[in-house]
Structure 1
Amino acid sequence: MVDNQFTTHTELFDLRGKRALVTGGTRGIGMMIARGLLQAGVRVVISSRNAEACAEAQEHLSKFGDVRAIPADLSRHDECRRLSDLVTADSERLDILVNNAGTMWDEPLETFPDAAWDSVVNLNLKSPFWLVQALLPALRRAGTADDPSRIINIGSIAAIHIPQRPNYSYSSSKAALHQLTRVLAKELGPQHVTVNAVAPGPFPSAMMAETLDELGEAIAASAPLRRIGRDDDMAGVAVFLASRAGAYLTGTVIPVDGGIATTA
């Protein structure tokens, strides 16, 4: 290999000039990812259903870089299209799409309702597909053979092992999202778009708050690394997948869980 094929360490993770959409970016894992991308130089759009949460998150994240928040209910197909139109209104290119918006329904098997399937599958599985459909032209324009555009789907270790608290529609929707990631990776690779998934373990978030309050110490003790996730753990894997360092990965599902799912 000749010297000019090597990339410097700084350049490997330099994302200056890139544009990203992070759904569910107003709190929890989405905010961790948005912060990491902003610090790497990305211009980031975040989205959430709640307009007030969007405004607060934009104010908080603005200290790290160029961020814009757009309220949207991504459980609806028309709202996914509207968000896509707004994201691409001032540029026809999108370098990074992070499908993070998600929801969970915690109820016993005997009373688990149809609505628990519809609402969870619509947001956790259908909305990533709808956004890929809507934003694919912009992703194609941004990607090259050497520097593809990136789709990062946020799955869950609940789709890899059986969680302590069964969440039927949540686990199923995330398992389907992992498979959708692989299917899209094969189709979109030749179009200079990579598709990977991150499967988070326990991280401090509103979705995990009740579980961590009840079982946090036991969950941390069950991890080979003996702790729950931190902000930098999630920001780091997102920056890796979005950067030159992760340009040759596609179709992968990366557990970020301290080893919980993969060593059980």
Structure 2
Amino acid sequence: MSYLDELFSVAGKTALVTGAATGIGRMAATALVHGGASVMIASRKGEDCVRVAGELNGLGASGRAEGFAGDVSSEAGIASLVAEVRSRTERLHILVNNAGVSWGAPLEDFPYHAWAKVFGVNVTAVFHLTRELLPLLDAAASDEDPARVINLGSVMGTQPLADDAYSYTASKAAVHHLTRTLAIEFAARRITVNAFAPGPFQSRMTAFATATEEQAKHVGGHVPIGRIGTPDDIAGATLYLCSRAGSYVTGAILPIDGGQSVQHGLTLFKE
């Protein structure tokens, strides 16, 4: 194995990626399978996860995938998912808390229940699922090779931008803060905790704005680098944080947004 292969390898690791049937979760799962990991894919639609796992196993990669249903929107759902994971492995090297929901409505019409729903999946589930899986993460952790947790934040959690998704943007800021909180708490356990803060990618959640190439190009025009994200952008970040290359990184909110997190309209002296 070459130096680069070894540095970025996740061979032999076991991972769980929630919400991995589509979008960024699927991109991360695909990268881990290519990197040699055994990846459990769970989302509310179990049949979709089984299908996606089959597609990933057909890539001819060195890792493998298995899919099943897992609903993180309730305490009972999380308990069921944890039991499913425990029945399949005694240790978990990588947890990607990717499952998420959004809600869009004008300020005047934004419904009360949209806050509980969005925070329940985007924040409460991240904390509760991670805590419930701690024994498996502890079992996989070592001084040389920490266990890894990656939470899905958003550029909307770093920039004061709502775009009618008030509970979503606030929930992602909460994910970022929770990530930093858990990073320092879990450091002594040899578990790193980091977050992705993606800009626009093609996914089910952004399909209203990125479904066609024309739409994706339009949205990409708002990004400083001039395009939306691609699967390789998520793959590179995932393999970095989950391999030996990222073993000293914890508490990071990694922008994968083509420069949107530093984008502003301010000028001081130049016209």
**TM-score if structure 2 supplies the norm length?**
0.91
Equivalent position of 1:41 in the other structure: 36
CA RMSD, Structure 1 to Structure 2 (Å)? 1.6
Q: Which of the numbers 66, 79, 94 marks the counterpart of 2:64?
A: 66
Matches within 5 A, 1:137-152: 137-152=135-150
Q: SS at the partner of 1:211?
A: helix
1:262 and 1:44 map into 2 onto residues whose CA distance is: 34
**TM-score if structure 1 supplies the norm length?**
0.93
2:49 is the alignment partner of 1:54: yes
Deviation, structure 1 residue 91: 2.4
Q: SS at the partner of 1:261?
A: helix
Identity of aligned residues (%): 43
Matches within 5 A, 1:214-233: 216-233=216-233
What amino acid is aligned across from residue 247 of structure 1 in structure 2? Answer: S
2:35 is the alignment partner of 1:17: no
What amino acid is aligned across from residue 200 of structure 2 in structure 1? Answer: P
Equivalent position of 1:4 in the other structure: none
1:117 and 1:53 map into 2 onto residues whose CA distance is: 27
8 Å CA contact retained: 1:99, 1:151? yes
Which stretch of structure 1 is more off in the superposition, 113-122 or 168-177?
113-122
Deviation, structure 1 residue 212: 2.9
Q: Which of the numbers 75, 78, 82 marks the counterpart of 2:80?
A: 82
8 Å CA contact retained: 2:156, 2:162? no
2:173 and 2:218 map into 1 onto residues whose CA distance is: 24
Q: SS at the partner of 1:58?
A: helix
Deviation, structure 1 residue 204: 0.6
Q: Count the aligned residue pairs.
A: 258
1:105 and 1:263 map into 2 onto residues whose CA distance is: 24
What amino acid is aligned across from residue 34 of structure 1 in structure 2? Answer: A
What amino acid is aligned across from residue 11 of structure 2 in structure 1? Answer: R
Equivalent position of 2:259 in the other structure: 259
Deviation, structure 1 residue 119: 1.0
Deviation, structure 1 residue 52: 2.5
Deviation, structure 1 residue 88: 2.0
What amino acid is aligned across from residue 42 of structure 1 in structure 2? Answer: A
Which stretch of structure 1 is more off in the superposition, 176-185 or 161-170?
161-170
Matches within 5 A, 1:65-144: 65-144=63-142
2:166 and 2:83 map into 1 onto residues whose CA distance is: 33
Equivalent position of 2:248 in the other structure: 248
Q: SS at the partner of 2:67?
A: strand
2:6 and 2:210 map into 1 onto residues whose CA distance is: 38
8 Å CA contact retained: 2:186, 2:192? yes
Equivalent position of 1:8 in the other structure: 3
8 Å CA contact retained: 1:22, 1:98? yes
